Amino acid sequence: MELFYTPTSPYSRKIQILADHLGLNDRIKMTFLHPLFDKTGQLAAANPLEKVPTLVLDNGDCIFDSPVIADALYHFSEAPALPFEERLKQQQLQALGDGIMDAAVLSQMEKMREDAEQSEYWQDRWQKAIIRSIDEFENNMIQQAEEWHIGSMSMACALDYLDLRHPHLHWTTHNKKTYEWYQLAVERDTMITTDPRQA
């Protein structure tokens, strides 16, 4: 299998961490492709959305987006199937983490535009979505992140992306339990080896 990834992409990072967690590293060739600057055409050929991460299977099939890739990796690892309720909780947490990434990545892209082209309305809307989602994690979902699974990986990658790209949000002072959880999460080996600041 071949994974097209970008080190600064929190979705890619989540998949790299999951692959390691499931013991699949030896079966995956990692290929760095930047979605905005890929001159090889490989990414667009594999994924019409031209986004990372994209996984190319040994039979040539191409898989996206990251929750689908995560599902495929759990399947390939032959990890025992989870009871429905447990799987739902993990998936729900993944959706929350991925949703924070969506808002944070869009906000970052917007910041890269000319000042006159930027929308205060959208920046405000994305910022509010991020703040509400972290509050939701803090108040109602943090117990679901005690174990290291796709949901907690997504949340850890989302929070670390905020730290990297949106440090002005100051969620760490408002969400103390979440900050404690995050500090432990970023000490994990694969959070360190995939830290985009080292890339």
Ligand X SMILES: N[C@@H](CCC(=O)N[C@@H](CS)C(=O)NCC(=O)O)C(=O)O
Q: What is the binding site for ligand X (CB under 6 A)?
A: 9, 11, 35, 50-53, 64-66, 98, 105
Q: How far is the CB of 57 from ligand X (least distance, A)?
A: 16
Q: How far is the CB of 143 from ligand X (least distance, A)?
A: 24
Q: Compare residues 69 and 175 and give the one whose CB is closer to ligand X.
A: 69
Q: How far is the CB of 91 from ligand X (least distance, A)?
A: 13
Q: Compare residues 64 and 137 and give the one whose CB is closer to ligand X.
A: 64
Closest listed residue to residue 135, CA positions, set 166, 105, 179: 179
Q: How far is the CB of 133 from ligand X (least distance, A)?
A: 15
Q: What is the DSSP string of 180-198?
A: HHHHHHTTSHHHHHT-GGG
Burial code (b: 16+ CB inside 10 Å, e: under 16) for 74-91 equals bebeeeeeeeeeebebbb
Q: How many CB atoms lie within 10 A of CB 157?
A: 29
On whether the CB atoms of residues 131 and 158 are closer than 8 A, the answer is no
Q: Compare residues 64 and 182 and give the one whose CB is closer to ligand X.
A: 64
Q: Compare residues 161 and 171 and give the one whose CB is closer to ligand X.
A: 161
